Every structure is written in structure tokens, then in C-alpha cells.
């Protein structure tokens, strides 16, 4: 897409989802950080189910360390990779206490140094909690960037850099949520619903017209 097409695409999403926000349930930077770590290869819905009890018993880093690995694991057994995630949540809580006084740092390098925290997780925390125009590229945004022509790239970093170049600076921070939700509910992996896409016109997906017309005929 050209920059003009990108603005048209993002503006359409913005107008359809003016109040878009993360679907993870959190109350502060610590609970958001832990929720995002737990969301790897798991749905936000499944994570929200387990964090109700987890955050009730361990609302901060000190309480999480006191809960221990087995205590954390007992809360999160229903989500994918729960054993590794329990280890990471315990370790990152220990790191927060030892290095940051129990507080979540607002620096990317410090965040990415925490157990279980990669670039995507750090970007979510920086965007949502600290107001930075960071673009966290998950599977939904990676798919959209390539499928629509908004920011094609072979790696998540390439898509991230393409989005930062094309999306207007004043729209970059909230576009993180618009793109995730659009990919989750409309531009889905197996069955994109082009017929109800608000950004149909600027989208460069080669099969969009075919999908849209076939669904119209079926309806």
C-alpha cells in the first residue's frame, strides 16, 4: 500500500472501532505483563479465565514469588505451555523484585531482559501502559500486514517496521488494537469475511472480490 492507502485503511478501522482496547483483563502494569506472557499460543479468553484466580492470590510480584511455581501452575493448567509459563512468571517476578523494586520498567531493553518477555510482549506493555507508539506484531497483525498489502514482510520485525513507516504517526499507537481486533474477528486466517470488511476498498488482497461476491451469492 501507499501511505495514502494505509491512512484510508487505518481510518476505516478507527471509525468502526473507536473504543478498541486490549481484551486481556488487567488492573496495572504487572497484571498486564503477566497476562501478555500467558497469552502466547493461547487465546485472550482462555487467559482471562485463569488470571481471575491467579491475580486474586498474587496481585503483585512479591505475592507471585510467594505463590511459587507450583502455585502459579495450579492456576494456569488449562492454557498452552503452562509449565514453561509458570517458570517464566515466577522468574520475571523475582527479577522485578531484584532489579526494579517490584515495579514493571518502562524501558524496552529492561522489559525484554525479563523471563518470557520478547519484543512483542514488551511492545504491548509499552503501548498500553506507558503510552508509547509501539507496534506489537502478533499472528493477526502479521497476517494482515501481508494479506492486505499494508506492510508485507517475511518476519514479524519486517512487518512491524513496515507498519511504522506507513501508518500515520498520530494513529500508530491505537492502530495496534484496531489491527488485532480486525484480524481476530473479520480478516480471519481461514475464512476472511471480506463482505463485511470496512477497509475493503484500500485492501490489496488479490482474492477479496472473489470471496466477497461468493458470500453475497450464498446469502
What are the C-alpha distances in Å from 15 to residues 126, 142, 174, 219? 24, 22, 12, 26
Cα–Cα dist 178/23, whole Å: 12
Q: Look-up: residue for cell 519486517? A: 158
> Do the Cβ atoms of 182 and 35 come closer than 8 Å?
no
Tell me if the pTM is above 0.85: yes
Choose the catalytic residue: 28, 138, 208, 215.
Answer: 138
Choose the catalytic residue: 120, 154, 165, 170.
Answer: 120
% of the chain at pLDDT higher than 90: 89
- Can you say whether the dihedral through the CA atoms of 85, 45, 173, 180 is positive or negative? positive
Neighbours of 166 (CB within 10 A): 21
Average pLDDT, integer, range 143-169: 96
Q: Does the annotation place 159 within a ligand binding site?
A: no
Cα 30-35-40 angle, rounded to 5 deg: 135
Instruction: Give the model's pLDDT for residue 214.
Output: 63
> Do the Cβ atoms of 107 and 147 come closer than 8 Å?
no
Question: Among this protein's residues, is 215 annotated catalytic?
Answer: no
Q: What is the mean pLDDT of the chain?
A: 94
Neighbours of 70 (CB within 10 A): 9
Question: Among this protein's residues, is 87 annotated catalytic?
Answer: no
Give the model confidence (pLDDT) of 80-126 as tens digits: 999 999 999 999 999 999 999 999 999 999 999 999 999 999 999 99
Average pLDDT, integer, range 133-139: 93
Torsion angle defined by CA atoms of residues 32, 34, 36 and 37, in that order, rounded to the nearest 10 degrees = 160
Q: Does the annotation place 203 within a ligand binding site?
A: yes
Instruction: Give the model's pLDDT for residue 50.
Output: 96
Q: Does the annotation place 187 within a ligand binding site?
A: yes
pLDDT at 204 over 60: yes
Q: Does the annotation place 194 within a ligand binding site?
A: yes
Give the model confidence (pLDDT) of 20-59 as tens digits: 899 999 999 999 999 999 999 899 999 999 999 999 999 9
Amino acid at each position: 500500500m501507499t501511505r495514502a492507502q494505509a491512512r484510508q485503511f487505518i481510518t476505516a478501522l478507527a471509525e468502526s472501532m473507536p473504543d478498541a482496547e486490549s481484551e486481556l483483563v488487567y488492573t496495572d502494569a504487572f497484571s498486564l505483563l503477566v497476562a501478555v506472557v500467558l497469552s502466547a499460543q493461547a487465546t485472550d479468553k482462555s487467559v482471562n479465565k485463569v488470571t481471575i484466580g491467579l491475580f486474586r492470590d498474587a496481585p503483585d510480584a512479591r505475592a507471585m514469588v510467594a505463590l511459587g511455581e507450583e502455585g502459579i501452575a495450579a492456576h494456569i493448567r488449562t492454557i498452552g505451555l503452562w509449565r514453561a509459563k509458570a517458570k517464566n512468571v515466577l522468574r520475571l517476578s523475582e527479577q522485578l523484585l531484584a532489579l526494579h523494586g517490584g515495579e514493571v520498567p518502562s524501558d524496552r531493553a529492561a522489559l525484554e531482559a525479563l523471563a518470557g518477555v520478547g519484543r512483542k510482549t514488551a511492545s504491548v506493555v509499552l503501548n498500553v501502559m506507558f503510552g508509547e507508539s509501539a507496534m506489537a506484531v502478533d499472528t493477526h497483525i502479521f497476517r494482515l500486514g501481508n494479506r492486505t498489502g499494508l506492510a508485507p514482510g517475511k518476519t514479524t520485525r519486517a512487518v512491524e517496521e513496515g507498519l511504522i513507516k506507513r501508518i500515520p504517526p498520530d494513529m500508530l499507537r491505537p492502530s495496534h488494537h484496531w489491527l488485532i481486533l480486525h484480524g481476530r474477528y473479520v480478516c480471519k486466517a481461514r475464512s476472511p469475511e471480506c463482505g463485511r470488511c470496512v477497509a475493503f476498498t484500500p485492501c490489496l488482497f488479490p482474492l477479496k472480490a472473489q470471496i466477497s461476491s461468493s458470500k453475497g451469492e450464498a446469502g
